[in-house]
Amino acid sequence: MNDRGMGLLGCLGFVAACSVVALLGCEDKPEKARVPAHPFVGQTVTVSFPAGYGFGDSWKAALDEWAEQTGAKCNLTEYTRGAAGLKELPAADVVVLAYSDVPAVATGNRLAPIPESSRAGEVSGGWNDFFPGVRDRVLTISGRPTLVPISCPVLACYLRGDLLDKARLKPPTTWDEYQKLLDTLPKWAPGLSAVEPWGEDFRATLFLARALPSVKKAGSYSVYFDIDSGAPLIDSPAFVRTLTQSVAQFSKLSTDSVKLSPADCRRLILTGKAAMAISFEPGRAGEKPIERAPGVSLVLARLPGARQVYDRKGSSWESLPDGEVNYATLAPVGGLALAVAKSIPAERAEAAWNLVNFLSVDRYQQALATVAKSVCRESQMANAVDWIGPELRTDEMYGYLAVSSESLRTTNLSPELPVIGRSELRKSLTEGITSALEGKATPDAALKEVADRWKAIAAGFGVERMRDSYRACLGLAPVLKLPDIPGPRH
C-alpha cells in the first residue's frame, strides 16, 4: 500500500478513535437532572389574606398562573381583622399579615423562618436586597428572618418647594428647624396652613414618629420597654419633651389637624390649601388622582431628626457634635407582609415558599396591582415609579423614593409598639396624648398615667411574656433564664 493509502487509513483510524472516546465520555458524564415541568403536583397550598386591603381579581389571576406553572392547587380564604387585630394565626399555609398583627401571632412561635437556602436569592429576590432597617428590625423575629414584605410605609415631610425657594428657605432637618418654619409660616406662605395627621386613629403613630429621634440612639433597643426588665419607658424625659413640643406646635397647625389622616394631609397640600404636611404615598394603582392646584411644586424631605438624644443610663441629654443630626425611623406605619405557617409539612412548605417568591418577586406588580405597596428593597427602586401616586412629578417622585430608601436603610429604626397587647397599649397612649393636647393634663402627668396603664396591661399578660414578645419582634432572643442552683445545706 502506498504512502497515500496508509495516510488515509491512519486518518480513518484517528476519527474512529475520537468517536469512541467521545461516546465513552458521554456515557461517563450523567445527564444533568431536569427540573420537572410541574414540581408541586399533588400539593395544595392555602393562602389567607385580610378583607378590605384591595386583594382582587389580579391577586386571584396570579395565584391561578402559579398553580398552572407548578401543578399545585391553590385555595384562597379571606379573613376579617377585628378592631383589636388578630388573636390567632388564620388556618393557612401562606398568610398575608398586617404588621400590627405580627406580635400576637409571633409570640406563639407559629411562623416559619425563611429557609437558609432561600435567603441567598430564591425567596424574595435575596435577603440582602431588602433595606437593612427593614431586614434587621422588621422582618426578623427572634433572630430568624421570617417575613417577606409587601409594603413598609414611612412618613415624610411634604413642603411647598416653590414657596420655600421664593423665601430662600430650606426643608427642616430637625424638629427645632421645623418649629421655625411653623412660626414664620405667615411670612413665607401667607394664607396657607400646616397640616399633620393628628386624627385619633393616627395620633399615637405620629407622636412616636416625632419622639423616636430623641429617644433612640443607634444600636439601642429599649425604646418603649426596657429589654431586660420589661419596664415601660413611655414616661421618660425624651417622650415628655416630645409631647411638650407637640402641644406647643399644635396651636400653629390648621385646626383641622385634630381629625386629619395622612391621606387628608396629602390631599390638602396637593390642592394648594397647605404649605407643609406630613404624610406618605398611597402606593396603589387605580386610585382616582387628586386634582392638583396650579403652581404647586413640592419638595419631599425626611421626617426631622434631633441634635440631642436622651441617655437613659446616664439620665442626661447627650448633645451631638455640630452639624450632626440623629435620625430614627418609625416604620412601618401600616403595611403588609407575607408569612408561612410553621406547622405545615416540609413538602408543602417548599411549595409555599415558592409561591411567596412568585408573588413578591416574579409577579409583584401584577398580583398586587390594587394593594398598597412601598419600596422595601434596592431592586424595587427602578420599578416603583409605576405605583407611586400619579400626582407627583418626576423630580418629586424620585425625591420621595430617596426619602423612603434613606429612612429604611438605617438600622436606627423601630416598629411601632412591636409587642403583644399592642392595641391596648396604643389605646391608652392615644388617650394620654389627647388629654395633653386638650390641656386637661400636663405632658408629664399625661405620660405618667400612660406608663401606669402600661404596667397594668403588662401585668395582665405577664411582664416576662410581654418583655420577650417585645424582644422577639425586634429580632432578639428571649432573656436567658438561668437554672436554679440549690445552695449548700446547713
Query: pLDDT (tens digit, 9 = 90+) per residue, 1-38?
Result: 434 333 333 433 433 343 333 333 434 444 544 545 67
Q: So what's the pLDDT on residue 158?
A: 98
- Cα dihedral value 319, 325, 326, 330, nearest 10: 140
Contact 215, 317 (CB under 8 A): no
Predicted confidence (pLDDT) at residue 207 exceeds the cutoff of 90: yes
| Contacting residues for 244 by C-beta, under 8 A, at least 6 apart | 443
* Separation of alpha carbons 273 and 253, rounded Å: 12
Strand segments (E) across 114-263: 140-141, 144-145, 148-149, 156-160, 193-195
CB 59 within 8 A of CB 355: no
Q: Are 236 and 226 in contact (CB under 8 A)?
A: no
Give residue 91's pLDDT.
92
What pLDDT, on a 0 to 100 scale, did the predictor assign at position 25?
Answer: 40
Q: What is the mean pLDDT of residues 392-414?
A: 95
Answer yes or no: is pLDDT of 62 > 50. yes
- Could you give the CA distance from residue 15 to residue 129 in angstroms, rounded to a whole number? 53
Whole-number pLDDT of residue 486: 55
Confidence of residue 56 (pLDDT cuts 50, 70, 90): confident
pLDDT computed for residue 483 by the predictor? 52
Position 123 pLDDT exceeds 70:
no
- 436-466 residue pLDDT tens: 999 999 999 999 999 999 999 999 999 999 9
- Within 13 Å of residue 443, how many CA atoms lie on the same side as its CB? 16
pLDDT number for residue 118? 61
Asked whether 62 and 72 are in contact (CB, 8 A), the reply is no
Q: Note the pLDDT of residue 286.
A: 59
**pLDDT 10s digits, 409-424:** 999 999 999 999 999 9
**Do residues 329 and 215 make contact, with C-beta atoms less than 8 angstroms apart?**
no
Mean pLDDT of the chain: 89
How sure is the predictor about 117, in pLDDT bands with cuts at 50, 70 and 90?
low
Task: Give the model's pLDDT for residue 481.
Answer: 64
Q: Are 233 and 222 within 8 A, CB to CB?
A: yes
Amino acid in position 346: A
* pLDDT, position 388: 85
Q: What's residue 7's pLDDT?
A: 39
Mean pLDDT of 283-304: 89
Comparing 87-96, 116-125, 313-322, the range with the smallest average pLDDT is 116-125
In angstroms, the CA 159 to CA 299 distance is: 5
Residue 344, all three cell numbers = 405545615
Q: Is the pLDDT of residue 482 over 80?
A: no
**pLDDT on residue 285:** 60
As a whole number of angstroms, the distance between CA 290 and CA 407 comes to 26
Task: Answer yes or no: is pLDDT of 277 > 50.
Answer: yes
Its sign, for the CA torsion 48, 50, 55, 57, is positive
DSSP strand pairing (94-98 vs 329-330) = unpaired
Q: Which residue has the higher pLDDT, 82 or 114?
A: 114
Residue 149 pLDDT greater than 80, yes or no: yes
pTM, full prediction? 0.88
